[in-house]
């Protein structure tokens, strides 16, 4: 997402707007995770031959035909005793309905339609959401006939293990996916100068920070952790344009997501990263730095967001406390991309304007584009400053480089022996690139290949 000073280049995997969500629901041991793995094209979900193997929900982005979607695998519905069966059904289906544009209701073709299948069908039927009834393990002819009795949709027989019926399922899915909706900025006729996702654990002050930027009570603020249940976009006037702000619901450790609404919040937060240029990680100055904070920062950069860190509630810290906190924070962030740290008190509006200014600048850095001549002059200087170490006597020469994308900046380097290039030297190149072009907090992507130089007969 770009504005007047930011390039419009965007890699194909960073799409505007929200990706459609397809949720997989059904009884235990009907093959939901096997179907999930088949559709995403890799073994991401754990599968087994006993009920309850999937104890948490799992989501992944995949390409179905020509459309990118977020596919969600859920735990089995109807586990446990009869007393807890209905609450389990309600909570799992509620999770699917909260986030899904389409539900894949998976049943077992070998077992036939069961009472629990009927309960799930009744629940889905009343919601009005598009449902595809997928009858798995349908290797045997007429395995799906029994499922017409559910009265929810025409059964689609498949075998997730063998791939039987999967092309037809994907074709049906494509036909009912919601139409592509471009970003809100296009609907309003004005592209934001930056798209900023505010991230952090529950109750660190994210909504308070956004309210301070907006100058009004746009977000509900409460002392109860997890008050924000959705990722809500807002726009704020900024100099000669607007900035889009995305307030993501508070994040908790994935393994501890036991509440449906928290799970929904996590899925939508990950989607927000895909639409953002920069993520502002908000920390509570009155609390320590935990592993979840680091995981969330890494996740934001893995999704291509530039990263800033803001420590909130500084009125709770003495100068000595702040010094210790800052030292600990910088130590924990040593593996990240030279991330800048800011001190704010969102409730009183202290430091919030400077933070917004820096976030807009970070978004511009994430769209950084460099001419081929200047890029290769940097590559030559970087090699002269530190020669690539060889492996087993082999000399590694970096020949030339080209930029293949932005948001984040992506650089392809051609060399004689790409497999011999050590990880330590790759890190050196990333650090040198960020330092040379002032790209603090930007997750630069480097790839290495062996090829003939297309620029050998050209001059910049």
Q: Is 67 annotated as a binding residue?
A: no
- 382 labelled as ligand-binding? no
- Does the annotation place 137 within a ligand binding site? yes
Instruction: Note whether residue 16 is domain-resident.
Output: no
192 labelled ligand-binding: no
pLDDT at 77: 62
Positions in the chain short of pLDDT 50: 1-16, 43-57, 79-86, 182-189, 217-232, 250-261, 456-457, 459-460
249 is in an annotated binding site: yes
Domain edge (last residue) among 176, 202, 227: 176
Phi-psi region of 23 (alpha: psi -120 to 50; beta: other; left: phi over 0): beta
Consult the annotation and say whether 351 binds a ligand. Answer: no
75 and 150 co-located in one domain: yes
Of 338, 366, 394, the residue at which a domain comes to its end is 366
Ramachandran angles phi, psi of 354, nearest 5°:
-60, -40
Q: Is 353 known as a binding-site position? A: no
List, in order, residues 6 or more apart from 341 with CB less than 8 Å away. 309, 310, 311, 326, 329, 330
The verdict on residue 32 lying in a domain is: yes
Residue 149 annotated as part of some ligand binding site: no
Q: Is 119 annotated among the ligand-binding residues? A: no
Task: Name the domain boundary from 325, 351, 366.
Answer: 366
Annotated ligand binding at 438? The verdict is no
Q: Residue 349 domain-assigned?
A: yes
| Residue 152, marked binder | no
Q: Residue 74: what pLDDT?
A: 72
To the question of whether residue 207 is assigned a binding role by annotation, the answer is yes
DSSP string, 360-378: HHHHHHHT----HHHHHHH
Q: Read off the CATH number of the domain in which 160 is found.
A: 3.40.50.300
Which helix (H) or strand (E) element contains residue 95?
helix 82-99
Helix axes 352-366, 206-214, angle to 10 degrees: 90
| Residue 136 marked ligand-binding | yes
Domain count, the chain: 3
CA distances from 343 to 175, 176, 361 (A): 49, 48, 17
CA nearest to 402, candidates 337, 458, 447: 447
Q: Is 200 annotated as a binding residue?
A: yes
Please check if 248 is assigned to a binding site. yes
Q: Regarding beta strands 21-26 and 102-108, do their DSSP bridges make them parallel or antiparallel, or are they unpaired?
A: parallel
Q: Is residue 79 included in any domain, yes or no?
A: yes
User: Residues with Cβ < 8 Å from 375, sequence gap 6 or more?
Assistant: 401, 402, 403, 411
Q: 271 and 327: one domain?
A: yes
Contact 162, 169 (CB under 8 A): no
Verify that 69 and 163 share a domain, yes or no: yes
The CATH number assigned to the domain holding 397 equals: 3.30.300.20
Q: Is 390 annotated as a binding residue?
A: no
Regarding whether 202 and 298 lie in a shared domain, the answer is yes
Report the pLDDT value the prediction gives residue 57, as an integer from 0 to 100.
Answer: 45
Query: Which pLDDT belongs to residue 308?
Result: 95
Whether residue 412 is annotated as binding a ligand: the answer is no
Per-residue pLDDT tens over the stretch 25-53: 888 889 888 898 888 875 443 343 433 33
239 annotated as belonging to a binding site for a ligand = no
Say what the pLDDT of residue 108 is: 93
Task: Tell me whether residue 3 is annotated as binding.
Answer: no
H or E stretch covering 322: helix 319-332
Query: Annotated binding residue at 406?
Result: no
74 is in an annotated binding site: yes
Residue 15 included in any domain? no
User: Do the domain assignments include residue 434?
Assistant: yes
Q: Are residues 48 and 127 in the same domain?
A: yes
Distance CA 98, CA 59 (A): 14
Consult the annotation and say whether 313 binds a ligand. yes
Same domain? For 356 and 376 the reply is: no
Return the structure tokens found at 249. Answer: 């619901």
In a domain, 4, yes or no: no
76 annotated as belonging to a binding site for a ligand: yes
Beta pairing partners, 31: none
212: annotated binding-site residue? Answer: no
What's the pLDDT tens digit per position in 9-25?
A: 333 333 345 678 888 88
202 annotated among ligand-binding-site residues:
yes
pLDDT tens-digit series, residues 257-312: 444 445 555 566 677 788 889 999 999 888 878 887 888 888 888 888 999 999 99
Residues 204 and 161 both lie in one domain = no
- Would the annotation count 247 as a binding residue? yes
Please check if 225 is assigned to a binding site.
no
293 is an annotated ligand-binding site residue: no
In this structure, is residue 331 part of a structural domain?
yes
Asked if 215 and 335 sit in the same domain, the reply is: yes
- Is there a binding annotation on residue 361? no
d(CA 295, CA 306): 15
How far apart CA 100 and CA 216 sit, in angstroms, is 31
416 annotated as ligand-binding: no
210 and 333, same domain (yes or no): yes
82 with 206, same domain?
no
Helices (H), 126-259: 166-176, 184-187, 206-214
pTM of the model: 0.58
- Measured CA to CA, the distance from residue 269 to residue 251 in angstroms comes to 8
Q: Are residues 96 and 218 in the same domain?
A: no
Both 141 and 268 in one domain: the answer is: no
Question: By residue range, what is the domain housing residue 376?
Answer: 372-449
First to last CA, the chain: 29
């Amino acid at each position: 997402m770009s504005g007047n000073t930011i390039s419009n280049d965007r890699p194909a995997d960073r799409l505007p707007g929200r990706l459609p969500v397809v949720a997989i629901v059904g009884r235990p041991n009907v093959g939901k995770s096997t179907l999930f793995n088949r559709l995403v094209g890799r073994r991401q979900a754990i599968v087994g031959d006993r009920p309850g193997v999937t104890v948490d929900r799992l989501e992944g982005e995949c390409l179905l035909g020509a459309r990118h979607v977020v596919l969600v695998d859920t735990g089995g519905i109807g586990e446990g005793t009869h007393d807890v069966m209905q609450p389990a059904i309600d909570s799992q289906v509620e999770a699917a309905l909260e986030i899904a544009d389409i539900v894949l209701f998976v049943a077992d073709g070998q077992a036939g339609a069961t009472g629990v299948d009927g309960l799930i069908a009744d629940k889905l039927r009343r919601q009005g959401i598009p449902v595809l009834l997928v009858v798995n393990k349908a290797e045997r002819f007429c395995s799906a006939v029994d499922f017409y009795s559910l009265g929810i949709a025409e059964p689609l027989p498949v075998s997730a293990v063998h791939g039987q019926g999967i092309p037809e399922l994907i074709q049906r899915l494509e036909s009912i996916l919601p139409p592509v909706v471009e970003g809100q900025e296009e609907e309003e006729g004005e592209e934001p100068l930056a798209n900023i996702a505010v991230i952090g654990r529950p109750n660190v002050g994210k909504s308070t920070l956004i309210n301070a930027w907006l100058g009004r009570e746009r977000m509900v603020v409460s002392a109860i952790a997890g008050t924000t249940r959705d990722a809500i976009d807002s726009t704020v006037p900024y100099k000669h344009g607007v900035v889009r702000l995305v307030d993501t619901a508070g994040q908790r450790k994935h393994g501890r997501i036991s509440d449906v609404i928290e799970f929904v919040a996590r899925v939508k937060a990950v989607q927000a990263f895909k639409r953002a240029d920069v993520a502002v990680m908000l920390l509570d100055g009155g609390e320590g730095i935990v592993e979840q904070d680091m995981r969330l920062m890494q996740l934001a950069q893995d999704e291509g967001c530039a990263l800033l860190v803001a420590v909130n509630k500084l009125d709770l810290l003495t100068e000595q406390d702040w010094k210790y906190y800052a030292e600990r924070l910088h130590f924990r962030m040593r593996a990240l991309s030279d991330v800048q740290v800011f001190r704010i008190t969102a409730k009183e509006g202290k430091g919030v304007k400077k933070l917004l200014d820096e976030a807009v600048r970070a978004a511009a850095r994430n769209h950084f584009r460099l001419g081929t001549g200047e890029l290769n002059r940097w590559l030559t200087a970087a090699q002269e400053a530190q020669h690539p170490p060889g492996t087993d006597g082999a000399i590694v020469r970096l020949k030339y480089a080209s930029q293949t994308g932005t948001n984040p900046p992506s650089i392809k380097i051609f060399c004689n022996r790409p497999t011999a290039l050590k990880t330590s030297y790759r890190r050196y190149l990333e650090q040198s690139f960020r330092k040379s072009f002032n790209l603090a907090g930007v997750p630069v992507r480097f790839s290495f290949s062996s090829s003939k130089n297309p620029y050998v007969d050209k001059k910049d």
